[in-house]
Amino acid sequence: MRLLTLVITVFLLVRPTQAETCLSLPKGWRVAVEVKGGSTIGLLDAIACLWGLEQRKGDDLDDHAVDLLSGPASIGTVTTRATKLARAACIDVRKERGRFVLKRRGKCQSSGTGTDPRPIKVALDARQKVATITTGQVEPRAILEDPKAVSPAGGDRFVVSGKVRDLALSDPMAFLGEGAAFPARGETPGFVIAWLRPGGIFERMGLRAGDVVTSINTLPLASVADAYHAYGALAKADTLVVSVLRNGKRQVLVYDIK
């Protein structure tokens, strides 16, 4: 669905009002849940991320198998849908001080067998505008730490492993700890990179905190919706040309996917 997560994941991790980064869905997107024998911890992360709920930290959150199947849900029906799904996984959704909080119930037997817990990911379908919480197969995340995943090719050009693209397409949440950005405020439309993990994949790709990313392959990035549009439109691209504004000067970064 998108090789864009190589760069765009940074732009999708837009949650400026919270210390944690997450996927920020544009208006009009739906959320579907297709979890079979999945981890409760992963389910908490995914539901909290996509539905904008807060996960209560510090609770005893041991892995617990669950079986959930649900069709696409409107983001507007957050509390009802999230509560129903969470209860099946022994999770309560409570309103505390005006905020909705996900919390694990004490001694609770979920509907899952517990014999085959599977990792949970979020798959993004930009064409159908659906984000699916699923236990589908995921690519190994170890590629993010592989020093050969990104190689300088001279100047502002880089060669990026196709395995990074595969991970970006199958498991965009794998990139949540790599950096975060938010829409720029001012005359220049784009996304301001707020922070990058030192030595992380995006930093090795030549991006820097403070960069304002304005376009990818001439597609503008003025909003989260633009980022998702680029995600779908550039899924099969073998080269990404990223325009950034750095210290007031225009700079172009080129990524060849091999």
Q: Is 63 exposed, middle or buried (0-12, 13-18, 19+ CB in 10 A)?
A: exposed
User: What's residue 197's pLDDT?
Assistant: 94
Residue 100: strand pairing partners: 95
Q: Which two tokens stand for residue 112?
A: 């899952």
Residues 6+ apart with CB under 8 A from 204: 149, 150
User: What's residue 1's pLDDT?
Assistant: 30
Hey, is 202 helix, strand or coil?
Answer: helix
User: What's residue 256's pLDDT?
Assistant: 97
**Which pTM was predicted?**
0.76
User: What's residue 109's pLDDT?
Assistant: 65
C-alpha span between 175 and 194 (Å, rounded)? 15
pLDDT in tens, 26-72: 888 888 888 887 787 788 888 878 877 777 666 556 676 777 777 76
User: What's residue 89's pLDDT?
Assistant: 77
User: What's residue 120's pLDDT?
Assistant: 85
Q: Which domains does the chain have, with CATH numbers?
A: 5-18+139-257 (2.30.42.10), 30-134 (3.55.50)
124 backbone dihedrals φ, ψ, rounded to 5°: -110, 125
Residues of the chain with confidence (pLDDT) below 50: 1-20, 75-76
User: What's residue 99's pLDDT?
Assistant: 74
